A and B are shown apart, each in its own frame.
Chain A
Amino acid sequence: MPDGQPMLKLENVHTYYGNIHALKGVSFELQEGQIGCLIGANGAGKSTTLMTISGLERCKEGTIEFLGKPIQRIAPDEIVRMGICQVPEGRRIFPRLTVRENLMLGAYIRKDKDGVQQDLDRVLGYFPRLAERLSQDGGTLSGGEQQMLAIGRALMSRPKLLLLDEPSLGLAPLVVETIFEIIAEIAKEKITVLLVEQNANAALQLAHYGWVLETGRIVLQDKARALLENPKVREAYLGEG
């Protein structure tokens, strides 16, 4: 076990959608500065896990601790203020706001104008394509650009922990590569990343640690390298065997 307090700790988290028991006691810990990766099939509960951490879904049982503080009963906007920001599945950018307005909404919780400007420059450094399109409506961007915008928007809140839900979904392979490179770079800046992916191969190569989720339960967890070698994982999630 790594030492120190984990950045994020889920313990026995149960979440329901109506009568559907989506998370059946999920527990894991993510250390500061690391990239953690949740893999699993459609409907395994990956997005539900992220939404429960962000407070948009409520767990019925269990605890979620962020830097030692329980957050499972805290309002979603407070959770963002504490330093957790999510890039939701499907990007969910605001299509009828300009790229600049989208990015500035990412900084909604912040009052330090100079810092926000710095971060805007930093984000546009990551994604030069966005710099060219600042005054365009978000909805006019291509899928890959929208994903860049969604990630850039989340970074504008200057998060300590970044939750990424399927950043590669529906994107061309070349664009996926760019996105993963950027994620690696974000992680170098001491932002902890929790990544959810169906593209298990790319995700596990990037991550330090991985968890395999099946029908609401974590069935396997290990260092990412080890998971990549694991025959069960290779068969079920890497399309081999």
Chain B
Amino acid sequence: MDLQNLFDMSSLFLQQLVNGLTVGGVYALIAVGYTMVYGVIELINFAHGEIYMFGAFITFHLITVYKVPFFVAALVAVAACAVIGILLDIVAYRPLRNAPRLAALITAIGMSIFFQNLALIKWGAQIKSYPLEALPPFFSDVAVRIGDVQVTWLQVFILATTLLLMFALHTIIHRTKVGAAMRAIAQDKRAAALMGINVNRVISFTFALGSSLGAVAGILVGVFYNAIWPTMGYIAGIKAFAAAVLGGIGSVPGAMLGGVVLGVAEVFGAGYLSSQYRDGIAYAVMILVIVFKPSGLLGKAMIQKV
């Protein structure tokens, strides 16, 4: 093997790694939404992928219909998705809080289908893309170039946003009162209520937080692939859910790690095996985790003393 060949191979590797981290960061953003909601109410919120889709579409709508600048549109969309998340909980899940878990799960699937169809009615089934002139022009410029490896400003932006949001999330969960309340509710709802915590309000906050991050992910992906469609949340949601399971459902650092691992695995699998395996890898990872380590990479076994 000559030197040039080796160089090509390592630059391919590096390129894949950067792409994998970008995709993985986005999965992580969605996955924390699943895991946080699961943490506080033990529900897999299957409509979470649709919140991600709404993030992308509301931004699109604001840009194309109201000619709102990109960043303003994105912020409004994130706020709107936070509200949608809160309403989703109040309307669909709260009445079922003490019902069998299967009822809430089926409701979640129902809300997912409902949201998809709402988007189909409003925006149609065709793939849409953000008008290029509306996006910040620097997005497509190359930020770093090492040999054949290219990183665009958009990728830098995605990675930086993801890191910043993860850091902010960690701070909220571990350094604020409401974060402590979230963790308390995840461990013992009734005891939390006995401490004077308004449990429903904290659950609403959790939905708002998870939905905001999901919306950001939707917007980033929409810009990255420049394609959005009403069922885009389905596959992304499944993958992020797989990432959450991989990390250990209920564990926020686990969801972050799971997202990144899954993203990297997927891009490498697509690059070195075949791009047709791309979506299958998420499922393979999920199956392996469930078989060999059901609590996930960072999932914690319960400590209980009587």
> Contact between A81 and B196 (Cβ–Cβ < 8 Å)?
yes
Given A88-B191, A105-B181, CB of A96 within 8 Å of CB of B197: no
> Contact between B190 and A92 (Cβ–Cβ < 8 Å)?
yes
**A106 surroundings in chain B (CB, below 8 A):** 195
Given A95-B187, A101-B180, CB of A108 within 8 Å of CB of B195: yes
Kindly state whether residue B300 has any CB partner on chain A within 8 Å.
yes
Kindly state whether residue B145 has any CB partner on chain A within 8 Å.
no
Q: Which residue of B lies closest to A146 (CB)?
A: B305
**A90 surroundings in chain B (CB, below 8 A):** 306
Given A76-B196, A97-B180, A109-B196: 6 more A-B contacts, CB < 8 Å: A81-B196, A94-B188, A96-B187, A97-B187, A108-B177, A143-B306
Distance in angstroms between the alpha carbons of A76 and B180 in the assembled complex: 18
* Shortest CB distance A66–B (Å): 14
Query: Chain A interface (Cβ within 8 Å of chain B)?
Result: 54, 56, 75-77, 80-81, 85-86, 88, 90, 92-97, 101, 104-106, 108-109, 137, 139-143, 146, 153, 157, 170
Q: List residues 18-49 of chain B with CB under 8 A from any CB of chain A.
A: none
**B198 surroundings in chain A (CB, below 8 A):** 75, 77
Kindly state whether residue B291 has any CB partner on chain A within 8 Å.
no
List, sorted by A's number, 10 A–B pairs whose CB atoms are closer than 8 Å. Answer: A56-B190, A77-B193, A80-B194, A92-B188, A92-B194, A94-B187, A96-B187, A105-B195, A139-B304, A143-B306
Distance in angstroms between the alpha carbons of A88 and B195 in the assembled complex: 11
* Shortest CB distance A57–B (Å): 10
Query: Chain B interface (Cβ within 8 Å of chain A)?
Result: 177, 180-181, 183-184, 187-188, 190-199, 300, 302-306
A76: which of B181, B188, B194, B305 is its contact (CB, 8 Å)? B194
B195: which of A80, A137, A143, A146 is its contact (CB, 8 Å)? A80
Q: How many A-B residue pairs have CB under 8 A?
A: 81
**B306 surroundings in chain A (CB, below 8 A):** 90, 143, 170
Given A56-B194, A92-B191, A108-B177, CB of A139 within 8 Å of CB of B303: yes
> Contact between B197 and A94 (Cβ–Cβ < 8 Å)?
no
**A85 surroundings in chain B (CB, below 8 A):** 194-196
Distance in angstroms between the alpha carbons of A142 and B303 in the assembled complex: 12
Given A76-B193, A157-B195, CB of A104 within 8 Å of CB of B188: no
B196: which of A80, A92, A137, A170 is its contact (CB, 8 Å)? A80
* Shortest CB distance A77–B (Å): 4
Q: Which residue of B lies closest to A157 (CB)?
A: B196
Distance in angstroms between the alpha carbons of A54 and B305 in the assembled complex: 24
Distance in angstroms between the alpha carbons of A77 and B197 in the assembled complex: 6
* Shortest CB distance A172–B (Å): 14
Given A77-B198, A88-B191, CB of A97 within 8 Å of CB of B303: no
Distance in angstroms between the alpha carbons of A72 and B190 in the assembled complex: 17
Given A77-B193, A81-B196, A92-B188, CB of A105 within 8 Å of CB of B180: yes
> Contact between B184 and A105 (Cβ–Cβ < 8 Å)?
yes
> Contact between B303 and A137 (Cβ–Cβ < 8 Å)?
yes
**B193 surroundings in chain A (CB, below 8 A):** 56, 76-77
Given A94-B183, A96-B183, A96-B187, CB of A108 within 8 Å of CB of B196: yes
**A86 surroundings in chain B (CB, below 8 A):** 194
Given A56-B190, A108-B181, CB of A95 within 8 Å of CB of B195: no
Distance in angstroms between the alpha carbons of A94 and B39 in the assembled complex: 14
* Shortest CB distance B85–A (Å): 22
Distance in angstroms between the alpha carbons of A160 and B22 in the assembled complex: 54
**B192 surroundings in chain A (CB, below 8 A):** 94, 105
> Contact between A96 and B196 (Cβ–Cβ < 8 Å)?
no
* Shortest CB distance A136–B (Å): 11
